[in-house]
Structure 1
């Protein structure tokens, strides 16, 4: 691990969280299985943030090809991008975006990771953003560290025992389906 990640305050980003900061000594940390985490930074303002979300299975909704759960993912992305824009320069052209996760860590998860990867790529393309970096897919879990001030990210691929534990958590969450998207379709950009 690069030495800059060994110092300062570490804030854990759990599923459903979205944090933004310009603190030089802050590192965001998360562990991903089939979930996606986006790291968005305003290069000019040195303000960045991280989210963490899991999209459940497709619902077949005619209104949205991914269903209500994808609107939750879209909400998570809009929330992060808007927080960075509000705290930064407000200019979309200054944003750099890195995305991580989407692993297939359990056969029982019906490759939610692949759907998440498709979702995040289509979402960013539709909004006119390009990725500056990504580490997506595979059959492993990963720990992601992100410095919001500098935009540096570090990814460590985790062994199968950790992946199995994360898969159990994701299966439990997918079974509960407690992630309820906002009722109104509000465009936040």
Structure 2
């Protein structure tokens, strides 16, 4: 858990909404921060710079189907859906102009040897998806052998990334392995809103 003392001033107060696997949230609330923890997963943070509307998604591409008609496989279609959903929600809530979007992506770590480097496939997918759609990345923190906690302020577009200790990597890796083998894991029962 990131302590309030270690955060930049713009992250040290307000309401935090946790973004779990499969979630996609968009807001223009000045005091809202989205938070997620990523291992092999990817989170995109998309913001309309003019309207100050932004959002975050969180997806895991667990396996490729090898289908000849879909070069990314069934799981990448899920990633494509997550990206399209987030971009469309930000466009709808904002100015509707693609040129006003600022995109940041995070995650894709190799934290579980059992998952055949899903993180690298996720990184390749998100980069190819954005290039094919004509978007440039404003910033990224991808790859490595560690998990991350990502905080994102949708109103200002500010992002904060903390690399997590290796003890936390094991817990995240176990959860991702469950998802990869059985499909989406149920969301935690705990509240998804935290106060700093």
State whether TM-score is above 0.5: yes
Q: 1:178 to 1:166 in 2, by over 3 A?
A: closer
Does 1:139 pair with 2:164?
Answer: no
The reply on whether 1:34 has 2:48 as its aligned counterpart is no
Q: Which runs of 5+ in 2 are unaligned?
A: 1-6, 186-196
CA distance in 2, matches of 1:140, 1:102: 9
- Give 1:173's aligned residue: 179
Superposed displacement of residue 177, structure 1: 2.4
| Aligned counterparts of 1:56 and 1:139: Cα–Cα separation in 2 | 17
Matched with 1:161 is 167
Instruction: Tell me, in whole angstroms, the C-alpha distance in 2 between the residues paired with 1:134 and 1:55.
Output: 18
TM-score (norm 2): 0.90
2:120 to 114, 122, 126: 114
Residue 58 (structure 2) aligned to one of 40, 46, 52: 52
Q: Provide the secondary structure at the position in 2 that maps to 1:40.
A: strand
**Matches of 1:53 and 1:113 in 2, distance apart?**
11
Residue of structure 2 aligned with 1:67, choices 73, 79, 82: 73
Give how far 1:121 is off.
0.2
Tell me the equivalent position of 1:182. Answer: none
The alpha carbon displacement at 1:89 in A equals 0.0
Residues 152-187 of structure 1, C-alpha deviations (whole Å, 9 max, x = no match)? 0000000111111000000001110249xxxxxxxx
- Name the SS for the 2:149 alignment partner: strand
Q: Residue 80 of structure 2 aligns to a residue in which SS?
A: helix
The aligned counterpart of 2:22 is: 16
